[in-house]
Amino acid sequence: MQEDIKPRLLRAFLTVAEELHFTRAAARLFVSQQALSRDIRSLERAWGRTLFDRDTRRVGLTPEGHRLLPVVRQVLAAHELLGEELQRTTGPLGDRPLIVDVALHGSTGPHVLATAREAAPHLEFVPRFHSGLARAASEISDGRLDVSFGRVAGLSPAVRAGLHHHLIRYDRLAVHLAPDHPLAALPQVPLAALVGETVYAAAGNEDTSEWTDYARSLFAGRGIHLAPPFPKIEGESEFRRVMRKHHWSVLANVDFPDVPEMAQRPLVSPVPLAPVSMVWRRGLSHPGVQTLLDAARTLGAAQGWLERPPGTWLPEADRALHGAQYL
């Protein structure tokens, strides 16, 4: 009897088989190449066979890999269909709580959830607190989570294909600086003033890869250095220690809770905006989804969440994804 195989490993196999290139496959899945290679090795050990011939110049499917590929496609399709069916409601109020990731890095998710609860007290919403959309999207795909919020353009096309998303907000960004940093004396920090600075944007944390991708686009051609990959940092005191030790500033949205011993300053010239979408599993049928969307629209209209003042900046990927109606 074969051990249970996680859908993540099957998706890793399928993506490498389609790309025949580990670097491109890892980029599609928004994981590191090392993590992807580790997943493929785990799958090969579990199945007791080699799936890919690989050397320094090429990657190819073995005969066993070719034989199993169509079966894996069928299994993943069936898994997605099962997830959709399990999430369908059986009555006007739904038959289970809706699991909603509201994150901790900003105010969008918590505010939308609070407004939805007030509007529909008969529905049950269960919050989760992940740190990034990349991790949340994976759990949505696996059926462990229903709804999240974040930057959809930073997800791979393969992941986005299984999701519905609706743009609800543009976050303004800020930089957190050491109190004695010369730029901390300014009320706002022009992007050009960060030339030569090393700014932390969670590179190395696979849970928040969509955020690192945003920072990489923002810093490109501006002489701003993205802090190198670093393992996920747990806890406020540890975060403060790492930033202080490496003399890194921090990129965050303006609603990010103040980092102790650091000064938050809004970024200007241009004003970078980070799109925030509500994201849920394709095929999910639950009244709480519409309630959350309605709550987001209500808050957005009251607080100007989709307003874009002159002199703002967005990554090209976000412009292309969301379309002219939002931009």
Burial readout 161-172 (b: 16 or more C-beta within 10 A, e: otherwise): ebbbbbbbbbbb
pLDDT tens across 280-291, in order?
A: 998 888 999 999
What is the Cα Rg of the chain in Å?
21
Domain count, the chain: 3
Q: Confirm whether pTM is higher than 0.75.
A: no
pLDDT greater than 60 at residue 91: no
Token pair, residue 223, equals 């002489």
The verdict on residue 126 lying in a domain is: yes
Model confidence at 258, pLDDT cuts 50, 70, 90, reads low
Asked, for residue 309, whether it belongs to a domain, the answer is no
Same domain, 225 and 264: yes
pLDDT digit string, tens, across residues 96-141: 899 999 875 557 999 999 999 999 999 999 998 877 899 999 899 8
Burial class (CB in 10 A: 0-12, 13-18, 19+), 64: middle
User: Domain range for residue 293?
Assistant: 98-168+279-304+317-322
Q: Is residue 155 part of a domain?
A: yes
Q: Are residues 184 and 267 in the same domain?
A: yes
Domain boundary among 86, 108, 125: 86
User: Last residue of some domain: 62, 86, 110?
Assistant: 86
Residue 325: pLDDT band with limits 50, 70, 90: very low
Does residue 310 lie in a domain region? no
144/288 same-domain check: yes
- Inform me whether the pLDDT recorded for 327 exceeds 70: no
Q: Cα–Cα distance between 130 and 148 in angstroms, integer? A: 9
Distance CA 177, CA 248 (A): 8
- Please report whether residue 31 resides in a domain: yes
Is 2 buried (19+), middle (13-18) or exposed (0-12) by CB count in 10 A? exposed
The encoded tokens of residue 149 equal 């919020």
Q: Are residues 254 and 196 in the same domain?
A: yes
Q: Which candidate, 49, 57, 50, 48, places its Cα nearest to that of 22?
A: 57
Residues 25 and 147 in one domain: no
